[in-house]
A and B are shown apart, each in its own frame.
Chain A
Amino acid sequence: MRPARQIILAAARTATAAERDRSGVKPWPWLLSLPGLAVAVGILLPLSYLLTTAIQGANGELGDILLRPKTLQALLNTFGLCAAVLASTTLLAMPAAWLVTRSNLPLKWAWSILLVLPLAVPGYLMAYTLLSVGGSYGVSVRLLEIEAPRLTGFTGSLVSLTLYNFPYMFITLRSGFLRIDPSLQEAARCLGDGPWRAFFRAELPQLWPAFLAGALLVVLHVLGDFGVVSLMRFETLSVLLYGSLAFEQTYAAWVAILMLLVAGVFVGGEVLLLRRRRYDRVTPGTARLLDPAKLGWLRWPVVLLLIVFLFFAVGLPAFSSAYWCTQPTLGFVTRDWGASTAASLKICVPAAIIATAIALTMGLMTQRFPGWRSRAIERLSYAGYATPGLALGLAMVGVALWADEWLVEAGDTLIYQSLGLVVFAYTLHFLAEAIGPVRTGLLQAGVRMEEAARSLGRGPISAFFAITFPLLRNGLAASMALVFLSAIKELPLVMLLRPANYDTLAYNLWDLSNENLYAEAAPFALTILGVSAVFVGVLIWCERQAKSRKMQG
């Protein structure tokens, strides 16, 4: 499998190099780059509008606004939570990734899949679970007559966000482990290092890029999270922003800018830390498989720990939601399950399709017309992902209201609170997730076969749809599944942008949990859980398909 993969990657690399040589003669594809340009404008315009209104609103009293004790406290809380979640996900994901790649743990492939499942449990659903299980009215008292602690505040946020973000770290570290050349460890052993010393000196440093990639995802998610911290009543920047929205728009705008700055610091930090060194393998020799480390009797406690972890991360949310579904509701709040499912789908399905289509045009653009323009457009789509949801939402609200002033009569709205705006915002926010699989597919397909079709008399569009497009099917499916999965779980964007009384699954779950109406919230939790689980399954299937295709190649 490895040699085949290397050949594919090498072929992809030479293909792009060859394309780079020729790119000078090709005219810039304006039509192809239109969607990408629209995305760039869609991100830059709201953010610059946010900045200008914030500066105008500040009236020179910026210091007073930003240096309030509660701003600093929220900033501190945000950083603290990011650091704590990062530490705990690393401590959990590092051993887990090692176990499924390097040890003789029984059923390693099954664990690799199971440990990704927490992706199906968004943070606020985990928070809802923790809040509704513990305490004197919680599930544990009702069923077992044991009062489990009711985690709130920092601890509750930490636990919820750790369990939710674990898979991101796990996936990147796992592929990091798989990429390490096993002969490095052997070389260290031959130079006098014992197994542990060899691991720490020769192998662990190779994980640094994977760790940084995972770490960036985790801290951006924690920074962007609103559902967990609001339910857990832990005052981070996003809680502060949402809280001040109704009374102090300028202050909210500045908090949003602060969040953007923090995101910028995270992204910049990753770039800086990564740039210092290159870690790719020196020579592309064929890597042999290492003998897996023997766990011996330790394997059973390890399996037990993994089961306990999965119980808390996946089993408990599913069980407690199911339990609350059977409980009587108080009756004075009714939310329509069908309407809210439809509301979610009406946003998520178009967002997934549009984002994937844009990702395809951008992938083609970067593959076939490489250069600073393609790079800039692609980077901006990543900026859309890194921008915290609330900040992006707030910026969108501002620009929508401003545009409505021009387009329709005062008091009326066209863009603000329209479904189109929500879908557009979702597309911008999750576009980056769609790019990865599409680009991998394009690189694997290469351009040679399409050129062969051209030489056999097909036009460019006909050749693309006859040759490359069928090869991309898995990548496109994976892209759509990724965006859909994130969109169905998305909360902050929909909170700020939704049309009046437009209640999605995520919004209902959050709103009802926020009022401690756990039985009422349960159907929405179960639906999110079920749909997400299906899409995590789709993603795993797509990956397996891609892998088996690579093996055949």
Chain B
Amino acid sequence: MRLPQIHPEPPDIDGHRLCIERLAKRYPGAATRAVDEVSFCVSAGEILTLVGPSGCGKTTLLRSIAGLERPDDGYVRHGNTLCQNADTFLAPEKRGIGFVFQDYALFPHLSVIQNVRFGLRHGSKKERTEIAREAMHRVGLHGLENRRVQELSGGQQQRVAFARALAPGTDVLLLDEPFSNLDSELRIGLRKSLQELVQHCDLGVILVTHDQEEAMCIADRIAVMRDGQLLQVGPPPSLYSRPRSAFVAKFLGNSNLMTGQAQGNFADTPIGRVQIDRHAEGPVTLSLRPEHLSFDMQAGVTTPATITLREFKGHDLTYHVRHGESTYLIQTTGGSLYDIGDAVHLKPTSAAVVVEDDLHASALDQTS
């Protein structure tokens, strides 16, 4: 099966489908930038997910790339089409970038096939229908051509939105929370078909989501955003195991954050002396994943902690443990069961990660 393409040869000069550099956007009247000098590139066959809390500017960033918002500054290139720089702003219709809206934005006055055909303008109606039909097959839609979009289920509407964005032969797809209106079972299926689609069609995809779990399981690379800024970009495992800052550590999964005094490869913390992932001296902030914390059968050097809560989740078990002023999370996959109120000693099973403390800094920002 052939997918319609505008460019017979993907014009990848440096191997990237889409590049943005120092993109910045401030809404009129706003004190801070919604998007603050963000740079990254997306390659063919890659899914980059943009994650961040709501209001962090990820949707604005996505819309700026598509040309739906006009950024104040920065550079956007799609293939060898310059979409934006200091003195160019290409209208969205001239960018050839596909966009799938959160609410799909299907045209209610058109049938399914008319929706998918909407972006095709060359060739006879028969040819355009044929191309649209191929795009529909790509996304796994069969025999719904003449249905009205209102008659479709949420998942089917989602697929129509994909097909419509793909039909003109775009090689870059921007997805704004594409799975947020669907139930969890449907999400998993659609995620899988998206991944297959990206591989088959060699697409470059940027996907916006606020769901960190979704981001981690679908992405080739994750970009974490906060307050308009890009904090860290990288493959999910490396972001998870080596978060650069406390915020990233907290946002991608649970984390025990603590302060300590570093001396070489060790640091003294409230739970005792722990190994750290790099050489450091002086006060540091450390992140330790709950699965990297466990119980010490022997009494440690510190005072014992108390179990305050137990969450049984089937394959694993999470304990909330109170020690001094802080609560720690410990994730275990079995072993002896403790009860609430039991006194325990804590023991890290892996090196803690030294992170930048951007959580307290922002807390200070808010109070000042």
Chain A residues at the B interface, C-beta cutoff of 8 Å: 181, 183-184, 186-195, 198, 201-202, 205-206, 208, 277-287
Contacts and interface: CB of A to CB of B under 8 A. Distances in A.
A190 B150 contact: no
A208 B109 contact: yes
Interface residues of B, number: 34
B169 to A, nearest CB: 11
A190 B109 contact: no
Contact of B150 (A186, A202, A208, A280): A280
In the A-B complex, list the 9 residue pairs whose CB atoms are closest, starting with the nearest. Answer: A285-B103, A191-B119, A183-B105, A187-B105, A190-B99, A205-B109, A189-B92, A283-B103, A192-B93
15 contacts: A181-B103, A184-B105, A187-B99, A187-B105, A189-B91, A189-B92, A190-B92, A191-B119, A192-B96, A195-B91, A198-B93, A208-B109, A280-B150, A285-B104, A287-B103
Given A193-B93, A205-B109, A183 B101 contact: yes
Contacts of B89: none
Given A183-B101, A184-B107, A285-B181, A190 B121 contact: no
Majority SS at the chain B contact face:
loop
A188 B118 contact: yes
A278 B150 contact: yes
B101 A282 contact: no
Given A283-B157, A285-B102, A285-B103, A191 B108 contact: no
Contacts of B105: 181, 183-184, 186-187
A198 B96 CA distance: 15
Nearest to B157: A282
A201 B121 CA distance: 13
Of listed B97, B109, B164, B165, residue having the most chain A CB within 10 A? B109
A282 B149 contact: yes
B97 A190 contact: yes
Interface of B: 66-68, 91-99, 101-110, 118-119, 121, 148-150, 154, 157, 164-165, 168, 181
A279 to B, nearest CB: 5
Contacts of A198: 93
A187 B164 CA distance: 10
Contacts of A188: 107, 118
Nearest to A198: B93
B148 A191 contact: no
B102 A280 contact: no
Nearest to B102: A285
Given A283-B103, A283-B181, A285-B102, A191 B164 contact: yes
Nearest to A286: B103
Contacts of B121: 192
B118 A191 contact: yes
Contact of B109 (A187, A192, A277): A277
Nearest to A197: B93
Contact of B119 (A192, A194, A283, A287): A192
Contacts, number: 94
Given A186-B99, A278-B108, A285-B103, 10 more contacts: A186-B105, A187-B99, A187-B164, A190-B66, A190-B68, A190-B119, A194-B91, A201-B118, A282-B103, A282-B108
B178 to A, nearest CB: 12
Nearest to B174: A190
A462 B41 CA distance: 67
Nearest to B66: A190
Contact of A186 (B92, B164, B165): B92
A226 to B, nearest CB: 38
Contacts of B106: 187, 282-283
Contact of A190 (B93, B104, B108, B154): B93
A517 to B, nearest CB: 53
Given A181-B103, A183-B103, A190 B181 contact: no
A146 B95 CA distance: 58
B98 to A, nearest CB: 7
A277 B148 contact: yes
Of listed A187, A189, A284, residue having the most chain B CB within 10 A? A187
Contacts of A279: 108-109
Contacts of B67: 189
B93 A194 contact: yes
Nearest to A205: B109
Contacts of A280: 108, 150
Contacts of B181: 283, 285
Contacts of A281: 103, 108
A89 B183 CA distance: 47
B154 A191 contact: no
Contacts of B148: 277-278
Contacts of A194: 91, 93
Nearest to B149: A282
B261 to A, nearest CB: 48
A194 B90 CA distance: 11
A281 B157 CA distance: 12
Contacts of A187: 99, 101, 105-107, 164
A282 B104 contact: yes
B98 A190 contact: yes
Contacts of B101: 183, 186-187, 285
Contacts of A202: 107, 118
Nearest to A183: B105
A189 B102 CA distance: 16
A189 B68 contact: yes
Nearest to B92: A189
A281 B102 CA distance: 13
B69 to A, nearest CB: 8
A299 B303 CA distance: 75
Contacts of B154: 283
Contact of A206 (B94, B108, B149, B165): B108
Nearest to B167: A191
Contacts of A208: 109
B150 A282 contact: yes
A193 B98 CA distance: 13
Given A277-B148, A283-B104, A191 B109 contact: no
